[in-house]
Amino acid sequence: MKLTVQQIDEAAKRLEGVVVRTPLQLNANLSEKYDCEVYLKREDQQLVRSYKLRGAYNFMSQQTPEALSKGVVCASAGNHAQGVAYSCRVMKVKGTIFMPNTTPRQKVQQVENFGREYVEIVLIGDTFDDAFAEAEQHCTAHQKLFVHPFDQVEIMEGQGTVGKEIYEDLEEAPDYVFLPIGGGGLCAGVGSYLKKSVPTLNLIGVEPQGAASMNQSIQEGKVVRLASMDKFVDGAAVQQVGIQTFEICKRLLDGIILVPEGKACTTLLSLYSKEAIVVEPAGALSIAALDYYKEQIRGKKIVCIISGGNNDLDRLQEIKDRSLLFEGLKHYLIVRFPQRAGALKEFVNNVLGPNDNITRFEYIKRTAKESGPALVGIEFANPDDYEQLIGRMHQRGIGFTDLSETPLLFDYLV
């Protein structure tokens, strides 16, 4: 299938007065760091704090009154649900939104706030796939419209208006555009508009390393379903991309970069502390990718799409933890202490460095005759401090296991 500039232009007219034309801001700090012009497209400042409203409203606004009278249905764990909920309230259409039982209460409340009396929320299943399956069954049983998160042409048209605004707001065409990929709707829409308008553009998709479904699909030449994935970057963690979005994205993308989840966390925290910009992990992906393109973007005009700012404060400690682990500033060890009085004191006084900080300590087993293993989390001032600690442990014959080398054990204990 093809998505045309004209389709996206028409979508922009439908969205007038409904969505915010979000700012495209030159960022001085990032521009200096990468020796280029870095512009941030701030979809975190959209009415529902993500671009998802564009696609949801564009889809619903093209349906017949008869079809809408039966109500609409969607499945989502966050941003798409908020976009659909807001559209339901604006258009006075009843909506049923299926969300996993594991969805944080804060996100459920946001959907309630945006949809109010027009939306019914159904919490079901433990995963997005569970909620998605129930939503499809509900649509079939009650003959309602299904608003897909990404794989409908009207959804892609709406998301494509982000690209239209970028093109119109820049005095000169961009050389590179970095944008996150989840199911592919944003990439398909933005790419279709900008690649037609700026044929020399480099369109770079960014996926979380633990959920690289578009990258794997393009490598295999067909849509594939990931056997497993890391759901942490929930705004871009999709087990299977869309059939239609795949066909468009594989033609338009000039590259895909996979960003480790910890790297996204580091970028998220940096944006908050240095720029006072609050983003969700998926919203940090496009900026995190710049480190991998330092040479290519030097002296160029760059746009990074910040896709959303719906970050749950309850996740802040986990975000900090993942960032420190990625930067090598935190490690979790199973330390086998000798079963004798004073062993822990010796470790603290003689093994631990002056700037090393124990952030977690718990005995796993204390009944062994010779040693008592303990889970120890240690935070370091510099990554090199870890190697020095390990050297001192070897010198004193202290046995240990670094949990970063055994992911299954890490997930179980940490």
119-123, strands of its sheet edge to edge: 119-123, 95-99, 72-75, 145-146
* 62: CB partners within 8 A, 6+ apart: 14, 154
371-379, strands of its sheet edge to edge: 357-363, 371-379, 330-338, 399-402
**Shared domain check, 308 and 211:** yes
Chain mean position to CA 332: 25
In the chain, the number of structural domains is 3
Beta bridge partners of residue 337, listed in sequence order: 372
69 as an active site residue: the answer is: no
Q: Which of 100, 118, 146 is the last residue of a domain?
A: 146
* 64: CB partners within 8 A, 6+ apart: none
Closest Cα to residue 188, out of 218, 224, 152? 152
Least confident of 23-37, 338-352, 385-399: 338-352
**Shared domain check, 280 and 176:** yes
Distances (CA, A) of 120 to 75, 83, 149, 399: 12, 14, 18, 55
**Shared domain check, 409 and 351:** yes
**Shared domain check, 293 and 170:** yes
CATH number of the domain residue 382 falls in = 3.30.70.260
Beta bridge partners of residue 41, listed in sequence order: 24, 305
**Shared domain check, 269 and 209:** yes
- Supply the pLDDT for residue 315: 87
CATH number of the domain residue 22 falls in = 3.40.50.1100
**Shared domain check, 332 and 369:** yes
- Supply the pLDDT for residue 375: 92
Query: What average pLDDT does this structure show over 143-164?
Result: 97
**Shared domain check, 177 and 234:** yes
**Shared domain check, 360 and 309:** no
Q: Are 288 and 183 in contact (CB under 8 A)?
A: no
**Shared domain check, 94 and 45:** no
Query: What average pLDDT does this structure show over 236-257?
Result: 96
Give tens-digit pLDDT for 72-131. Answer: 999 997 899 999 999 999 999 999 999 988 887 888 999 999 999 999 999 998 877 788
Q: Are 264 and 184 in contact (CB under 8 A)?
A: no
**Shared domain check, 101 and 42:** no
Banded pLDDT at 408 (limits 50, 70, 90): confident
**366 has pLDDT over 80:** no
Distances (CA, A) of 207 to 12, 46, 224, 353, 403: 27, 22, 15, 37, 25
Least confident of 35-39, 53-57, 105-109: 105-109
Query: What average pLDDT does this structure show over 315-329?
Result: 92
Tokens of 76: 């989502």
Tokens of 295: 């040479």
* 227: CB partners within 8 A, 6+ apart: none
307 as an active site residue: the answer is: yes
Chain mean position to CA 392: 39
Catalytic residue among 41, 52, 144, 330: 52
**Shared domain check, 71 and 37:** no
Instruction: Provide DSSP, 371-414.
Output: EEEEEEEEE-SSTHHHHHHHHHHHHTT-EEEEGGG-HHHHHHH-
Q: Which of 97, 116, 146 is the last residue of a domain?
A: 146
**Shared domain check, 287 and 277:** yes
Distances (CA, A) of 298 to 25, 144, 200, 292, 351: 18, 50, 16, 12, 44
Query: What average pLDDT does this structure show over 404-410?
Result: 75
Query: What average pLDDT does this structure show over 337-359?
Result: 88
Domain of residue 136, residue span = 53-146
**247 has pLDDT over 90:** yes
What sign does the CA torsion over 214, 216, 220, 223 have? negative
Q: Are 213 and 224 in contact (CB under 8 A)?
A: yes
What is the Cα–Cα distance from 179 to 174, expressed in whole angstroms?
13
Q: Which of 297, 319, 341 is the last residue of a domain?
A: 319
Give tens-digit pLDDT for 330-344. Answer: 999 999 888 788 888
Catalytic residue among 50, 192, 307, 323: 307
User: Which pTM does this prediction carry?
Assistant: 0.90
Helix boundaries (H) for 170-212: 185-197
- Supply the pLDDT for residue 369: 57
